[in-house]
Amino acid sequence: MFHNFLVLSVKLVVLAKFLKNSQNKKDASNLGNYEKSKYYCSVCGREISEEDYESYDGMCWECWDDQLTEESDDMFGDVM
pLDDT in tens, 3-61: 555 555 656 666 677 666 655 554 555 555 555 789 999 999 999 999 999 999 999 99
Residue 75 banded pLDDT, cuts 50, 70, 90: confident
Residues 6+ apart with CB under 8 A from 71: none
Q: Return the percent helix, strand and coil in the chain, to nearest 5.
A: 70, 5, 25
- Euclidean distance between the first and final Cα of the chain, in Å? 85
59 close to 43: Cβ distance less than 8 angstroms:
yes
